[in-house]
Amino acid sequence: MFYCQNCGSKIESAQKFCSFCGFSFKVEEESNDKDARIYELEQKIVRLEQIGQREQREVKKSISSSFSPWMAILPIGFVAAFLGFFALIIWIVRQ
């Protein structure tokens, strides 16, 4: 069992393409060129960071767009109405 170099999903050894992401598996000469592998990994890191930043912006947008001033005003109004009702009951009982 092998893993895709692009997405990390499990693949069979006879497959020429990843069934998940479509990455092509070419038989390459094995080289000790570490710089090329480091460059590939750096590019993947950059892509993942961009995806993470994009997701963070989307979360911030959804949080900021879901906040409304009524979320603060309504609880204060309910407390004021409850206290007013409570004061009215006390006033009626005392008379």
Return the pLDDT at 85.
94
Q: Residue 25 and residue 18: Cα distance in Å, rounded?
A: 8
Answer yes or no: is 20 within a domain: yes
* Spatial CA neighbour of 41 closest among 2, 1, 15, 8: 8
The number of distinct structural domains making up the chain is 1
Residue 13 has pLDDT above 60, yes or no: yes
Return the pLDDT at 32.
54
- Identity of the residue numbered 87: A
Answer yes or no: is 9 within a domain: yes
Answer yes or no: is 18 within a domain: yes
Return the pLDDT at 27.
56
Answer yes or no: is 94 within a domain: no
* Widest Cα–Cα separation across the chain: 98
SS (H, E, C) the chain: CEECCCCCCEECCCCCECCCCCCECCCCCCCCCHHHHHHHHHHHHHHHHHHHHHHHHHHHHHHHHHCCCHHHHHHHHHHHHHHHHHHHHHHHHHC
- Tell me if the pTM is above 0.95: no
Residue 85 tokens, joined:
């009702």
Answer yes or no: is 78 within a domain: no
Answer yes or no: is 26 within a domain: yes
Return the pLDDT at 6.
82
Task: Give me the domain span that covers residue 3.
Answer: 1-30
- pLDDT tens for 28-84 read 545 557 778 888 899 999 999 998 888 888 877 776 666 677 778 889 999 999 999
Q: Higher pLDDT residue, 64 or 89? A: 89
